[in-house]
Structure 1
Amino acid sequence: MEQFVEFMGNFGPLGLAIHSFLDAIIFPIPAFFTQVSLSMLNPNNAIWLATLGFFACLLGTPIGYLIGKVFGTGILTRFVKPELTNKATNYFKEKGSIAILIGAFTPIPFKVFTILSGVMKYPLWQLMAYAAIGRATKFYVVGVLFYLFDRAAATMVDSVSLYIFITVVPVIVIFLLVRKWLRKRKERKALALQQGNEQEAEM
């Protein structure tokens, strides 16, 4: 992994863009490592690097989705560890939106979620929306830390990312659950009203 990160770092921002793009499709090493490595070399460019990595990741997301939609589970079983695939699949079966959002923050390779979204025919626009939220947070936290604290940010990145995960993610998850509950409540009311109208019409 260190050799690969060093290799990509030789290409500078272009290396990060390529790594981020592949990270959303099929590559097993997160682009986080290349971003940190390049940000340490030039902290003044950290925000630009975060922006580049973020958009490259978004460009790769629909391709990972298409791979999952066309080729199915065979891709996952070949390139991703079974325990990671099973974990992500269980998330998806329970709550797709929350699974993608959490996946954007966790160490689980994000390609698992892009490919799974295609396999399970999850709406692409929702995948892009939740990927944008999670990946933007992850990339820009690193970028802002290096921009503000220079190379000292290298010791802060992991702990700050953890704090964001245990604070921001639960808030968003609660919001999604409440929205889903309100939507179901509205549907039940509409159904009850429809049934009431049908009974009145029969009378």
Structure 2
Amino acid sequence: MFEQITQVFMQYGVWGLFGLSFLDSFIVPVPPFFLQIAMSLIDPAAALRYATVAFTGSILGAPIGYILGKWLGKPILRKILPEKWTKLATEQFDKNGDAAVLIGSFTPIPFKVFTILSGVFNYSLTKLMLFAILGRGIKFYLIGILFHLYGKHAKVLLDEYLEIAVLGIGAVVAIAWLVWNKRRKKTA
């Protein structure tokens, strides 16, 4: 299914990449980095342009996921979960939402999960956008830079080291967030 959806969007080139990145923020189940990698493999010289297109589409789609979560998420959540679970989930998102959105923005977990949950749990749209810009930027530009520097060989690097790199970056981001959060609490 991923491959079929990717092929449909690939027919439209850069506009397909933009569309998939935009829709990934709130509805489509296929992450746009598959299409970004495929396009960068064909034309490594344009890899940074593809990173910019994917990044822009993803960031522009994030508020739509947020609004969908605000409008539709709460009523659905109230119907399927007991009130106490909803309250607990809201408290946890208030407490750990920064880390969840930041780390979730560049992991393989679908981005729409974080945009929609941010709306459901009344997370700050400003923070969502800030952390999405940071996390999505890391994700898309890391791929773009690899293809820009290593050409088609970047695919081999991604195949061999993507999981380790994502875990490493995730650990660095999580540690940086913890340090930043502790410093922020000390000054407050």
8 Å CA contact 2:18–2:57 kept in 1: the answer is yes
Comparing 178-187 and 10-19, the one that deviates more? 178-187
The one-letter code matched in structure 1 to 2:66 is Y
Comparing 143-152 and 155-164, the one that deviates more? 155-164
* Higher radius of gyration, 1 or 2: 1
CA distance in 2: counterparts of 1:89 and 1:11, whole angstroms: 40
1:109 matched to 2:110? The reply is yes
Percentage of matched positions with identical amino acids: 44
Correspondence for 2:70: 69
| TM-score, structure 2 as length reference | 0.84
**3-state SS, counterpart of residue 29 of structure 1:** coil
Which protein has greater RCO, CA pairs closer than 8 Å, 6+ apart? Answer: 2
Correspondence for 2:42: 41
Comparing 177-186 and 135-144, the one that deviates more? 177-186
Q: Deviations over 1:121-163 (max 9, x none)?
A: 1011110111111111111111111122222211212444334
8 Å CA contact 1:24–1:64 kept in 2: the answer is yes
CA distance in 2: counterparts of 1:92 and 1:100, whole angstroms: 10
The one-letter code matched in structure 1 to 2:62 is T
CA distance in 2: counterparts of 1:93 and 1:179, whole angstroms: 16
Comparing 176-185 and 59-68, the one that deviates more? 176-185
8 Å CA contact 1:141–1:161 kept in 2: the answer is no
Deviation at 1:103, TM superposition (A): 0.7
Deviation at 1:176, TM superposition (A): 2.2
Q: Deviations over 1:156-184 (max 9, x none)?
A: 12444334333333233223223322333
CA distance in 1: counterparts of 2:179 and 2:38, whole angstroms: 39
8 Å CA contact 2:93–2:123 kept in 1: the answer is no
Correspondence for 1:196: none
Change in CA separation of 1:168 and 1:91 when aligned onto 2, cut-off 3 Å: farther
Name structure 2 gaps, 5 residues minimum. Answer: 78-88
8 Å CA contact 1:138–1:161 kept in 2: the answer is no
Change in CA separation of 1:185 and 1:108 when aligned onto 2, cut-off 3 Å: same
Q: CA RMSD in A?
A: 2.3
Change in CA separation of 1:165 and 1:62 when aligned onto 2, cut-off 3 Å: same
The one-letter code matched in structure 2 to 1:46 is A
**3-state SS, counterpart of residue 27 of structure 1:** coil
The one-letter code matched in structure 1 to 2:4 is Q
CA distance in 2: counterparts of 1:49 and 1:169, whole angstroms: 23
Count of residues paired in the alignment: 176
